[in-house]
Amino acid sequence: MSQTTELPTLTKKDLTSDQEVRWCPGCGDYAILSTVQSVVPELGGPREDLVFVSGIGCSSRFPYYMDTYGVHSIHGRAPAIASGISASRPDLKVFVMTGDGDALSIGGNHLIHALRRNVNLTIVMFNNQIYGLTKGQYSPTSELGKITKSTPAGSVDHPFNPVSVALGAEASFVARSIDNERAHLSEVLRRAAEHEGTAFVEVYQNCNIFNDGAFDAVRGNKEQQIRLEHGEPIRFGADGERGVALAGTGELTLVDVAAVGEDALLVHDAHREDPGLAFMLSRLAHTPTGPTPIGIFREVSRPVYGQALQAQIDDAIARRGPGDLAELITGRDSWEV
Amino acid sequence: MTKTAEKVDTVTIRFAGDSGDGMQLTGTRFTSATAAIGNDLATLPDFPAEIRAPAGSLPGVSGFQLHFADHDILTPGDDPDVLVAMNPAALKANLGDLAPGATVILNADAFTSQNLKKARYAADPREDGSLEQVRVVEVPITTLTVGALEDVPDLNKKQKQRAKNMFALGLMSWMYSRPTAPTLEWLREKFASQPTVAEANIAAFEAGWNYGETTEVFDHRYEVAPAQLPSGRYRQITGNLALSYGLVAAADRAGLRLFLGGYPITPASDVLHELARHKSFGVQTFQAEDEIAGIGTALGASFAGQLGATVTSGPGIALKAETIGLAIAVELPLLVLNVQRGGPSTGLPTKTEQADLFQAVFGRNGEAPLPVIAAATPGDCFHTAIEGARLALRYRTPVIVLSDGYLANGAEPWRVPDVDDLPDLRDDAAFTTEPNGPDGEFLPFLRDEATLGRPWAVPGTPGLEHRIGGLEKAEGTGNISYDPDNHHRMTELRQAKVDRIADDIPPLEVDEGEGPGPRLLVLGWGSTYGPVAAAVRAARREGHAVAHAHLRHLNPFPANLGEVLARYDRVLVPEMNLGQLRTLLRARYLVDVQGYNRVRGLPFTTRELVEAIAAQLTDVDADR
Ligand code: SF4
């Protein structure tokens, strides 16, 4: 769309809107906003080609703070609205900013269908395991037994593991990061944004008001972070003394590297066609209370919805020529009176 | 041809059989041949929601009625002159609609004790006197069909029997002197990849024709001369096809690409199917995961600079209501097409109704006004879709376009408009490309003074980056605003924008007929146009003075509507609902509007409306 021949280099400031940010002081959303504003200029596209779409919830205020095109839409519907933008305009770079309630509860259907279609979207899901904007009800990622205003006796809802959901929905790119791990989050977001198709990134985000410390087992606790690097043996711990291995039972286990030897470790392959191993990795920590994998679980190439749609149109025009309205409405069986 | 032909001016026939008997196809084919002759026509397909209800059962009966004439007609006809009944259930389900003296052609082979039982006949109706009022012609259609296909190889008996609908079509084509060439050509083309099937159908069709010619049961055939319609090029069209073409035409005339987000639903799916075929017009169709995503993608596409549209039926509109509200809040053009069906809930999926008017006008949270328009005839769906696009683009608003099951599947000859005569929508669709603020900034909610529409700045336009959303916006900047006075002002502005459309649409025209000034006005909207106009004609023939008007714009109403209503002693509004337009008119104009209301899933008959008109006239006279 844009005719710019020499791309002006965007800065973080160019992407910062004049709107006052209204998240609670100390909220993890600030760090994510700042990281996104730093990463997006690195992508190299012009500002006018950027669109941020969100649903409803704390995280969904995000587009107001970005000086780009943006839609703050309806609770849960951001993937649908963004799909219409992206499918009809493959030239744009479209982000969906969403939360765990928005994406996995009210909008779960739209999320999984966007993922299977592989529309060109970068979906960033802020997971704080709580409903923040409505003041603290349990969410579809809250742990069993969670005591909230709507579950005074503890939640009896089994939670989703968002990475498992995305992998089950045929997503071509699935990753996880943490709000305050700036370098890691930057790298994951950059790769997600560069991915062709739907990229899904779960970001552990601290809601210091209604669910403070929900991720403390891994957030700021590098020893518990199992950092997935494509092509590398999966190791973690203070000195990489622990690792992940495929047991004879066909399950993944956490092992002592010294005990099993480095060759026994599973080498991470994000490009595997089959999502089975990625899914098993996601199950290492159903809720992030112990060692938890972060990084890119899966990154494969699949036809992109908007491009495929456009290709059919191009093909039809190439074969039949551009449509002729008079011919269309007259049809083949007409008569003169 | 040896038998003589009697000239008649109008005929109504109905094909009825089991859902699996191919009655819709038979009717559609007869319609095409009738259109080719140049008769005026109107059709009423009537089929069950089940794809295949148990064979031979009453719920499984599928019918197709066609009214054709040598003059212009407005309805598919009240009662058939001829009923073709392929089995006992089809006879039982339709017999009550026949006037005394009508002809019934029965497939005698289907009247087995088993089929009679399935149709819940205690005794054979051919023998118990229940057919005394009609002229019965028994034809062993199945046997004759199988006999005619004796030489067709590679088909078993069951497959041969399946061609019996073509026998019926051939017989009726003979009876009403329809040309055979187009049907034969169509059969060859349709079954091009299955030459044996083509051969079988052609043989059955010809056998039916020859049966009419040779059997002594029929001593003559009928002819209906071409109708004198206004000159021009004509084609046959259904409402769903016209709606689809209207959308393609609107996008073309606006210089935009059409994006249709939809989800399968009866009776609207054909619009999705049709548009999916027109990729060479750049049309994008997106079959979404649900109704909500259907409209969500369409609204996203509108934001991105396409002509966004979504098509559904009543239950789908219920699901889309929240997104329609967002479209009202963000003030983007969007077309929402509702092919109405019987409700509430799943209701009557394949039957017609016009009970979604309240839903269209009011069915959202908050003060959420939008334009609502309705098509009058199958062909009018084309022009109504274009009018919807004009309003959506000019006023930057979602628009609800109402059709219904009767228009959707009903067919009529349609004068093909000259493309150059269609409205030019390019100015209305123009994107904003330059900042509009006093200090060189972009103000996405700074309105056009004439239309109150806001600028449409699409992603990819440098310098006009902006955010929109469902939270209340400050006038001008569009920033989130919780200011009480701003909300009141924005609410009034959104209402004023829709109200202004009243000055941008034609005043309501009234047909007063000839003779003394009528004291009764019959006012219709949507698909009742044909039956109401036919009833008014009939009432006038009986010497009554009746005025007739028809509303296309239901929100806002034409500016002169109040004054029109005040001119008459009585106003009658026939509607296929319990009085929705009547309620709106009473509330708005404080006029004691009368209703004639039926929700039978079928269009009104001319007869019942003539009676309703006569009853009103008696009342008016009594009041004198
Ligand atoms: S409620 Fe929680 S998630 Fe929402 S802004 Fe406050 S801290 Fe952040």
Where are chain A's structural domains?
13-232+268-311, 233-267
| Helix/strand/coil percentages in chain B, nearest 5 | 40, 20, 40
d(CA B313, CA B296): 16
Q: Which two tokens stand for residue B278?
A: 């027109």
* B68 Cα to chain A: minimum distance (Å): 16
pLDDT at residue B51 greater than cutoff 90: no
Closest partner residue to B301 (CB to CB) among A88, A319, A333 is: A88
> Who's near B527: CB < 8 A, 6+ residues apart?
B352, B354, B375, B376, B377, B403, B404, B406, B407, B576, B603
User: How distant, in Å, are the alpha carbons of B46, B66, B270, B347, B581 from that of B603?
Assistant: 11, 13, 20, 16, 17
Q: Do A70 and B466 touch (CB under 8 A)?
A: yes
Pairing relationship of beta strands B307-312 and B334-340 according to DSSP bridges: parallel
> Who's near A200: CB < 8 A, 6+ residues apart?
A115, A123, A125, A162, A166, A171, A173, A174, A175, A192
**Tens digits of residue pLDDT in B87-101:** 999 999 999 999 999
DSSP, collapsed to helix, strand or coil, labels residue A23 as coil
Contacts 24+ apart (CB under 8 A), A206-209: A206/A27, A206/A28, A206/A128, A206/A179, A206/A180, A207/A27, A207/A28, A207/A58, A207/A128, A207/A129, A207/A130, A207/A132, A208/A24, A208/A26, A208/A27, A208/A28, A209/A24, A209/A27, A209/A132, A209/A136
Give me ligand 1 centre to Cα A208, in Å: 7
Structural contact between residues A162 and A204, judged by C-beta atoms closer than 8 angstroms: no
Angle between helices B164-175 and B23-37 (to 10 degrees): 30
pLDDT at residue B42 greater than cutoff 50: yes
d(CA A177, CA A187): 9
> Which B-chain residues 466-485 have CB contacts (< 8 A) with chain A?
466-471, 479-480
d(CA B226, CA B234): 13
d(CA A179, CA A20): 20
Which residue, among A116, A105, A114, has the nearest Cα to A75 in the 3D structure? A105
Q: Which segments within B365-430 are labelled E, that is strand?
A: 372-374, 398-404, 411-415
| Residue nearest (by alpha carbon) to ligand 1 atom 8 | A27
Sheet with B40-46, edge to edge strand ranges = B40-46, B61-69, B10-18, B82-85, B103-107, B135-139
Average pLDDT of span A273-294: 95
CB atoms within 10 A of CB A31: 18
Angle between helices B141-148 and B195-214 (to 10 degrees): 120
d(CA B19, CA B54): 9
Q: Which two tokens stand for residue B154?
A: 């590679």
**Tens digits of residue pLDDT in B298-349:** 999 999 999 999 999 999 999 999 999 999 999 999 999 999 999 999 999 9
DSSP, collapsed to helix, strand or coil, labels residue B62 as strand
b/e per residue B502-524 (b: at least 16 CB within 10 A):
beebeebebebbeeeebbbbbbb
Residue B101 C-alpha from the chain's centroid: 31
> Which B-chain residues 326-345 have CB contacts (< 8 A) with chain A?
326, 330
Structural contact between residues A337 and B234, judged by C-beta atoms closer than 8 angstroms: yes
Structural contact between residues A69 and A48, judged by C-beta atoms closer than 8 angstroms: yes
Structural contact between residues B502 and B554, judged by C-beta atoms closer than 8 angstroms: no
pLDDT in the model for residue A1: 46
Structural contact between residues A21 and A30, judged by C-beta atoms closer than 8 angstroms: yes
Q: Which residue(s) pair with B529 in the sheet?
A: none
d(CA B298, CA B336): 9
| Ligand 1 pocket, CB under 6 A | A 23-24, 27, 29, 58, 128, 132, 207-210
Instruction: Give the containing element (helix H, strand E) for B549.
Output: strand B546-551
Specify the length of chain B in residues: 624
Residues of B within 8 A of A15 (CB-CB) are none
Average pLDDT of span B218-233: 92
pLDDT in the model for residue B284: 98
pLDDT in the model for residue B219: 86
**Tens digits of residue pLDDT in B262-303:** 999 999 999 999 999 999 999 999 999 999 999 999 999 999
d(CA A43, CA A9): 10
Q: Considering only alpha carbons, which residue of chain B is nearest residue A106?
A: B292
Q: Which residue(s) pair with B414 in the sheet?
A: B235
Q: Do B300 and A47 touch (CB under 8 A)?
A: no
Planar angle of CA A99, A103, A109, nearest 5 degrees: 175
pLDDT at residue A6 greater than cutoff 80: no
* B579 Cα to chain A: minimum distance (Å): 34
Handedness of CA A35, A41, A44, A45 (dihedral sign): positive
> Which B-chain residues 383-442 have CB contacts (< 8 A) with chain A?
415-419
Atom of ligand 1 nearest to the CA of A57: 4
Q: Which domains does chain B have, with CATH numbers?
A: 5-223 (3.40.920.10), 235-421 (3.40.50.970), 510-623 (3.40.50.920)
d(CA B357, CA B579): 10
Q: Considering only alpha carbons, which residue of chain B is nearest residue A21?
A: B480
pLDDT at residue B515 greater than cutoff 80: no
pLDDT in the model for residue B151: 87
Which residue, among A233, A251, A231, has the nearest Cα to A243 in the 3D structure? A233
d(CA B118, CA B611): 37
* A269 Cα to chain B: minimum distance (Å): 31
Average pLDDT of span A91-111: 98
Q: Considering only alpha carbons, which residue of chain A is nearest residue B413?
A: A334
b/e per residue B594-607 (b: at least 16 CB within 10 A):
bbbebbebbbbbbe
Instruction: State which of A30, A61, A97, A128 you would mutate to test the pocket of ligand 1, scoring each by most atoms of that ligand within 8 A of its C-beta.
Output: A128
Which of A328, A330, A336 to probe the B interface (max B CBs under 10 A)? A328
Q: Considering only alpha carbons, which residue of chain B is nearest residue A309?
A: B284
Supply the ipTM of this predicted assembly.
0.96
Residue written as token pair 């959104």? B494
| Residue nearest (by alpha carbon) to ligand 1 atom 6 | A24
pLDDT at residue A4 greater than cutoff 60: no
Q: Do A336 and B232 touch (CB under 8 A)?
A: yes
Give me ligand 1 centre to Cα A23, in Å: 6
Rg (CA), chain B: 27
Atom of ligand 1 nearest to the CA of A22: 5
Q: Do A313 and B282 touch (CB under 8 A)?
A: yes
> Which B-chain residues 4-33 have CB contacts (< 8 A) with chain A?
32
Closest partner residue to B419 (CB to CB) among A82, A109, A326 is: A326
User: How distant, in Å, are the alpha carbons of B70, B126, B327 from that of A102?
Assistant: 61, 65, 20
Q: Considering only alpha carbons, which residue of chain B is nearest residue A67?
A: B465
Residues of B within 8 A of A110 (CB-CB) are 289, 292-293, 296
| Residue nearest (by alpha carbon) to ligand 1 atom 2 | A207
pLDDT in the model for residue B20: 87
pLDDT at residue B624 greater than cutoff 80: no
Which residue, among A74, A59, A219, has the nearest Cα to A123 in the 3D structure? A59
Q: Which two tokens stand for residue B144?
A: 């004759």
DSSP, collapsed to helix, strand or coil, labels residue B168 as helix
Give me ligand 1 centre to Cα A55, in Å: 15
Q: Which two tokens stand for residue B230?
A: 């206004």
**Tens digits of residue pLDDT in A9-23:** 899 999 999 999 999
Q: Which residue(s) pair with A295 in the sheet?
A: A176, A228
pLDDT at residue B565 greater than cutoff 60: yes
d(CA B51, CA B20): 9
**Tens digits of residue pLDDT in B484-498:** 999 999 999 999 999
Average pLDDT of span A225-245: 97
Cis peptide leading into B556, omega within 30 of 0?
yes
Angle between helices A108-117 and B291-303 (to 10 degrees): 70
**HEC-encoded secondary structure of B186-243:** HHHHHCCCCHHHHHHHHHHHHHHHHHHHHCCCCCCEEECCCCCCCCCEEEEEEHHHHH
User: How distant, in Å, are the alpha carbons of B331, B442, B486, B491 from that of B469?
Assistant: 10, 16, 16, 15
pLDDT in the model for residue A333: 85
Q: Which two tokens stand for residue B415?
A: 């004068």
Which of B280, B380, B458 to probe the A interface (max A CBs under 10 A)? B280
Q: How many helices (H) and strands (E) does chain A have?
A: 10, 12
d(CA B610, CA A171): 62
Which residue, among B501, B210, B529, B504, has the nearest Cα to B371 in the 3D structure? B501
Give me ligand 1 centre to Cα A28, in Å: 8
Q: Band of the pLDDT at A7, cuts 50, 70, 90?
A: low
Question: Does the beta carbon of B277 lie under 8 angstroms from any beta carbon of chain A?
Answer: no
Q: Do B279 and A68 touch (CB under 8 A)?
A: no
pLDDT in the model for residue A2: 47
DSSP, collapsed to helix, strand or coil, labels residue B286 as strand
CATH 3.40.50.970 fits A13-232+268-311, yes or no: yes
Average pLDDT of span A192-218: 97
pLDDT in the model for residue B239: 98
